Amino acid sequence: MNVAFFPDLFALALLVVILAMVRRRHSDVRADAWLLGLSFTLVESIAHTFYAPTGIPDKLLHVVVVDCYVLAGMVFNWAAGDQRLERSTRLLYLSLNGLALLTLTTIYGLNLRYSGIYVPAVVVGLLLGVGSSIFLRRSWLHAAAYAVGWTAIGVLVAHQDFRAAVYWSLASVYAIAAVNFQRRLERQSTGKLAIVAGFSIWALFFLTHPWVMDHYALHADIASHVWNMQKSLISIGMILTMLEEQVSNNEWLALHDELTGLPNRRLFAARLTSAVELCERKRSCLALVVLDINDFKQINDSLGHVAGDQVLREVSSVLRKSVRATDTVARLGGDEFIIVVTDMPNENAVERFTDSLRSAIAHPITIHDKPLVVGASFGFAMYPQDAKDATKLLRLADQRMYFLKKRPVHTAQIGAGAAAMHQA
């Protein structure tokens, strides 16, 4: 046992525990994958601690170390991989290629040093890599990369350079993880910088390991201490990334409605003020449109609050799709929504706009496998014709909406729609 590794081992174990504690407050699939990957690196570090100071490592310990490198690399690539692929497809793709590489590292860890036993693993790895890239990822580029990679491993095995064959393949795995994290994480993230740097250093260490062992074997202890540096760097980076995402999520929730994802009253007030100021400078007009869902309480009472939430989400989706990028849709609370529509020349244009929204909202929604027709009541006020103050505009639009909703003709129209949805 090499007690000199204990401080580094303790530091890594402490970081894994901290990551697990952070993950409890920020639980997602990627955080779970990060924790699993770092757990494999911790197992590798524990096994490395029991290496003999000199000579060939014990076979069992050697297998644990090199196989943990592969497993951790696969898990990290899973966490940073292409999310556009289906989960089952990504899992199958990584499992097939990870199994081939795991076979190669296991043979090497058992200290088997003759080419014949590596050849089947190389051939299977080549076939799986090319085949999975073509049939699962539909990518000839990935297929070509696997063909080149496994061919290079085969050449190294033929020249009996087994260490280079294994460690250079591991370098490729961790270099791919660095590239994937570079693409996946937010550009301004501090944690991203630590993670990408850590995986890049790790890939570099794998790449240079055969050369270091051939020329500086007497300094292996120093190299091993340097080797552990990037593990702590990656752990810290992952903790930073999770905390940054939590802060970003909290900031988003402070300005958005959690159910629909629309801006809330606070963000809407700021955008309305900005829109009014812009209209003043451009000497243009805008409309403030207020709407609520007809018979929403009846929907909640008869179909349940889950159905009511679905109606709110469907209506918010319709509204979001029906406005321009320069307009703002927000949920004020309950079943009430509000829209700022810029560059509206007159009331006729606003009425045409609200008619189009009314028709879009009336499209049937499937609730409990049955179609539900939803109606809405609208009211609007225009700047600067009706008022030049944001608060007065909102109050006037709200009053008009409730006035129109109470009109008998309007109520009859709404009642017909409500009857249709309950009979469906």
Catalytic residue among 327, 335, 343, 398: 335
Measured CA distances, 242 to 74, 231, 358 (Å)? 20, 17, 42
Got the DSSP string for 83-95?
Answer: TTS-HHHHHHHHH
Strand partners, 365: 372
Single-letter residue type at 364: P
Active site residue 221: no
Single-letter residue type at 328: T
- How far apart (Å, rounded) are the C-alpha atoms in residues 13 and 15? 5
Strand partners, 342: 286
- How far apart (Å, rounded) are the C-alpha atoms in residues 51 and 46? 9
Single-letter residue type at 318: V
Give ∠ CA 340-253-307 in degrees, rounded to 5.
80
Measured CA distances, 219 to 206, 224, 225, 288, 385 (Å)? 16, 9, 10, 73, 82
Task: Please name which of 354, 407, 415 lies closest in space to residue 379, comparing C-alpha atoms.
Answer: 354
User: Sheet containing 336-342: which strands, arranged edge to edge?
Assistant: 328-333, 336-342, 286-293, 376-383
Contact 44, 69 (CB under 8 A): yes
Residues marked active site are found at 335
